[in-house]
């Protein structure tokens, strides 16, 4: 099964689209790739959450853009003095 295989950005609610500067790249990722998601909802209780995830490690996208990973964003936040407190792990990850 490919997660979100039938999802098309053009069909997404306009309030969701506003969170993006451009349509996101859609790609099949290797099983070893780690992802995270900032969310206040449980990922295991059947709650509906958005299909948009971020990479833990920086990754080049099919469009050629570089998607900064969690570690880069966390370092930038530390440099700016605005790191979110957490237990040292991405909020939710898929290993």
pLDDT digits (tens, 9 = 90+) for 18-72: 878 778 788 888 888 888 887 777 767 666 666 678 889 999 988 898 888 988 8
- Confidence (pLDDT) at 77: 78
* Residue 30 is assigned to a structural domain of this protein: no
pTM above 0.85, yes or no: no
**35 found inside a domain:** no
Looking at the domain assignment, is residue 61 inside a domain?
yes
Query: In a 3-state reduction of DSSP, which class is residue 43?
Result: coil
pLDDT at residue 8, as a whole number: 84
Residue of 95, 78, 88, 84 whose CA lies nearest to 40: 84
Secondary structure class of 55 (helix, strand, coil): strand
Task: Answer for the pair 51, 2: CB distance below 8 angstroms, yes or no.
Answer: no
In the chain, the number of structural domains is: 1
64: containing domain: 51-95
Q: Which of 49, 58, 70 is nearest to 3 (CA)?
A: 49
For residue 20, being part of any structural domain is answered with no
Q: Evaluate whether residue 77 is within a structural domain.
A: yes
């Amino acid at each position: 099964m490919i997660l979100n295989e039938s999802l098309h950005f053009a069909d997404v609610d306009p309030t969701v689209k506003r969170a993006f500067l451009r349509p996101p790249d859609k790609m099949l990722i290797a099983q070893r790739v780690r992802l995270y998601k900032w969310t206040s909802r449980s990922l295991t209780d059947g709650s509906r959450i958005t299909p948009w995830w971020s990479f833990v490690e920086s990754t080049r996208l099919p469009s050629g853009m570089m998607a900064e990973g969690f570690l880069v964003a966390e370092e930038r936040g530390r440099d700016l003095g605005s790191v979110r407190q957490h237990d040292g792990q991405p909020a939710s990850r898929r290993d």
